[in-house]
Amino acid sequence: MDIKQLINFITIVEEGNITKAAQKLHLSQPPLSNQLKSLEQELGVKLVERGSRKITLTDVGNLLYKRGKDMISMFESTLNEVEDFKSGIEGVLKIGAVSTCNQFVPDKLVSPYTRQYPKVRFELYEGNTYEVVDMIEKGIVDIGVVRTPFNRENLCCMSLRTEPMVAVINNSQKFDFGDREKISLKDLNNKPIIIYRRYEKLIMQVLNMNDIKASIYCLNDDGRTTVAWAQAGLAIGIVPKSVINTFNREIKVYEIEEDDLKTDIAVIWLENKYLSKSARHLLDMINEMDF
């Protein structure tokens, strides 16, 4: 059995019949059918039950399919690693990042990395945490920079920094908290708030646990929108602290003193999946840095 036979067998299984598999592999049906028979004869087992429209895997066929997928993945990873060694640390590093880390990624990750590996170029894909996780799972990006919480199943995760949530208001007296740098949850009681939908569950859960009766004035899909509406004096915005770094100082910012109201910036990548040499070196660099 060679790698080509294994790829063809896996394609037959995933397409459900030999005709569709032959079309996908750009082969004619008789040679592909004969190849499957030859594979069964070589192994001395029956791999599939042939139906009129669809094949069904036998137990041993299912075993070969699962192990074969792992073998193909390892084979492709090995080829990619060989290419990496041939080319050195260069090429394109694809990063998925949430919009609320739009300053963190270039300042804290890309700038120090570029000083070590100037030949690497970047492709940045932006979205919310769930979209970045989906990009990771689909192989669109090598690594992702996201914010907690999220489903960590099948993902490797390295936390970079924990940030508090902050309350954002404009410079008017409408929602002023004075000259303090920090406020408590009680200061939000009976106040209208603006929140990014991503954190709705976390924020409302913490408020309810502490019997705070804040009302949602606006629910939106971007932390920057939250700050913009707060800047307009419409209500009190609640966002992770670093979101306000790109805004001017026509706003007042107060850190919220509540341990449960925090979020981590984290870098993620797919478990048991090949990572390019440039991505692995970025992770090595991150592991040695203090954020």
Model pLDDT for residues 39-84, shown as the tens digit of each residue? 888 989 888 888 877 888 899 988 998 888 888 877 876 776 666 5
The residue-averaged pLDDT of 19-42 equals: 88
pLDDT tier, 175 (very low <50, low <70, confident <90, very high otherwise): confident
What tokens does 5 get?
Answer: 């036979």
pLDDT tier, 194 (very low <50, low <70, confident <90, very high otherwise): very high
| Helices H / strands E in the chain, number of each | 10, 12
pLDDT above 70 coverage of the chain, percent: 94
Tell me which of 250 and 263 has the higher pLDDT: 263
- Give yes or no for residue 1 having a pLDDT over 60: yes
User: Could you tell me which residues come within 8 angstroms of residue 270 by beta carbon, excluding any fewer than 6 positions away?
Assistant: 136, 137, 139, 154, 155, 156
- Give yes or no for residue 131 having a pLDDT over 60: yes
pLDDT tier, 99 (very low <50, low <70, confident <90, very high otherwise): confident
Measured between alpha carbons, how far is residue 229 from residues 133, 140, 148 in Å? Answer: 28, 33, 24
Residue type, 111: S
Exposure of 89 in the CB half-sphere (CA atoms within 13 A): 12
H or E, element range at 196: strand 192-196
Q: How deeply is 247 buried, as exposed, middle or buried, from its count of CB atoms within 10 A (0-12, 13-18, 19+)? A: middle
The pLDDT assigned to 83 comes to 66
- Sign for the CA dihedral angle at 63, 64, 70, 71 comes to positive
Q: Judge contact between 34 and 47, C-beta under 8 A.
A: no
Measured between alpha carbons, how far is residue 243 from residues 101, 163, 191, 230, 283 in Å? Answer: 7, 10, 21, 13, 24
- Give yes or no for residue 128 having a pLDDT over 80: yes
pLDDT above 90 coverage of the chain, percent: 37
The pLDDT assigned to 267 comes to 96
pLDDT tier, 274 (very low <50, low <70, confident <90, very high otherwise): confident
Measured between alpha carbons, how far is residue 55 from residues 9, 19, 21, 239 in Å? Answer: 12, 11, 11, 53
